[in-house]
Structure 1
Amino acid sequence: MANGVFHTGYRIRIELTHPDLGHPDRPDLLEEIIQPIGKRDRELLQCLEHHERGVCQAEDHDRSPWMAIRRRTMGGRTTLVAAHLPVRHRPTAEESDKHKAMKERIARAADRHGLSAEIESRSGDGRIRNDVLVIGAAERVGWEAQYAPITASTVRRRSQAAADNGIVPSWVTNSDRAALIDRAPWARVDDFSWREIASPKAMLVRAGVRHLQRWKCTPSSERPCPLIGSACGRLHVQWDLPALCIPRQPHTGVDQLVVTSADGEYVPMRIPSQGNPRSVSRMWVPTEDRDEWRSIVGPDGEDDAQDNEAADAELTFAEEPLDSTCRYGEDTRVFNDHRLRRATADAAGLHTFDEVPKRLFKVPGPKAQRLDATPRQRHEAAALFGCAVWNIGPCAGCGAPIHRYGHGAGHACRACRSRVAGRREIAE
């Protein structure tokens, strides 16, 4: 396998499996070659086989002979790997038309709901540019309509620059393989033509918006245990796509997200995995779900510009002999930067607790409540809460009919829980 690259500046072969990269006289070589592409010559590093033979098999897969060096962690070991860069991409006429139509749609949705929208908005110093800047009562949201390929480092750099200027970045794409996914707040939509995007046709967010799900893992739970398959008796909390929620949640439309993100009804979240803090999911969520998550899990962690990167892990060097053979696409330890599917339907941010926090269900009432409702009122309540009639019972605080029993049930209605939470805050 190719375990090295050719440095076109120094005219040397770099051995990635050796601590000194094969050049003990160049102590700063590692820092030079792992620089982001935007900060160095794109053609600084070359595929060894291409350098020696003038061709390599990566070129048959629309990849260039130019390389990037990255860290990759597998089986607890972090190594240096070489990745073929893609051939430079310029947006096609179709991509440009879709990009323009999406910008106009975002601005139109904002304007229709009384929000301010600026297309191709730039900061005073010209360093920050947003496709559309939407200004609402709660936030300034900088929308980026991304239909052409983009690198993860570019997404991070532009998103951080927007955040530093008080703008919430939000990216929209039609690809489930886009590098922007989970590297900034994002939304994936269907691959509509520019005419469909420009039309009043509904455009749903297929990924990038999630809802909070929590349940006690018992034999009667509608969900299987995400850890062992059978009921474990613990509390599980995770974020799911609307169609996978119980009860099922409606999809959010792009126009709706434009408005609710600026008004503060939807907020961006960054959720590290409980098992692997380096694995991070980013999403838009309803504000009330964000608040409930914080009451269960705790405050959000610090943001990290190196999400999903093993930047601080100690490197392992196998000290193998230099091999210049390019095996792009083969199942080897060489990372060839395939555009893998990044947007999945898997649950995000699973957290499991041995006990259900009492604050989630304990609402002291003045006396034991009993349900005083007619059969018709029971059926109406069941339809309202999306549960079976026999799962309707009295709120422990006020006695109103609520989803009291079975999966997803609550001990009290939202008003009583809010009232008690308010008293607790005052007492504390």
Structure 2
Amino acid sequence: MAHRSKAMDDFFANMPNPDAIFQSWWPWIFAFGSGSLYGVRQWLRGPKCTGGNKLHNKVVIVTGASSGIGKEIALNFANRGGKIIMACRDETQGKLAAEDVRKETENMDVYFSKLDLNSFKSIKDFVERFKKKEKRLDILVNNAGVMMCPEGKTEDGFDIQFQTNYLGPFYLTELLLDILKESAPSRIINTTAAAHNLGDIDLEDINFENRDYNAGESYSQSKLAVVAHTFHLAERLKDSKVTCNVISPGICNTNIYRYLPLKQKKFIRISFAPFMWFLMKTAEDGAQLSVYCGTTSEMAEVTGKHFKDCKEEKVNEKANDKLLQEQLYQASLKWTKSAAAAIEGGDDSQTNSSDKKDEDNEKKVTRRKEKVVQSVMERVSLS
């Protein structure tokens, strides 16, 4: 017992003097350093959308909503009372994500619907199912995307990054334009990335068939196409009360980086985990811009703009090139014409005169089909 008392006496005897601690600069240095790091971290996370309207009686589609930013957007919109359609490629993950959102928000109007942007047929099927069940669409968030994936082609014959990031959302949006117009005022939100500033669009070799494939060039090309298309679409819709804007969520620590060594290599992933946590936004942070553009009153009539950190930001001059926008639009119509023909079950728009009678009969049948056909075929006939 005496031994323990001596040990305790020695312990207290060797403790630093509290008064001496606060006479030192070290506590102040520590406090200032910690506060500075916290401030930098919060700045890197970007602003939060603390306002915005409720979404009662509003119908929202969010693509790529099984995880990451898309799921966070769905959570936020569901908390505001909206009817949320979580459009996801993976059925298992999509259903689990929808169940998570329902439980967390106590909003039972949250549903999974299968959508694979790498398949025009899947896009068409999704729109048909949606229009059979819903009479309106108030917000379309084209969030789904892929980054720096290995070279490959979709079942429709396009570069995976180009179709997932641009051509699939283009086709989806065209098919939904009629219901968006009927539901006006409504909003379209497209997603790009800072890489669009490095992009070039080669309309003659969109699939890298006549040049060496470069994952970075493919990605930046697809993201530049998103911006150019958004500006062109906003101009087309300027009298319809359907707004169309494009956003750059920033660098977020989500699964989109799964093809990069930073995520693929276990040693690198573990080693850089603290730095990634500190320097990268969370998925919730990345969702704030879609929430801002989709719910705030100040964005109700804003269209044809690019936003980053909840404020307008200028883009590369190439994205503002009117000629490039029109050429991309016309090319996209031709690229998706095969899908439109599949919906119709008939010939392309350049049917010769000997087939005129058959074409007229097909048009009569077409008028009785669902509205999913109309918005695309109107535009395909322009090519």
TM range (shorter): under 0.3
Q: Which has the higher strand share?
A: 1
TM-score by length of 2: 0.23
Q: With the length of structure 1 as denominator, give the TM-score of the two structures.
A: 0.22
Q: Which protein has the bigger helix share? A: 2
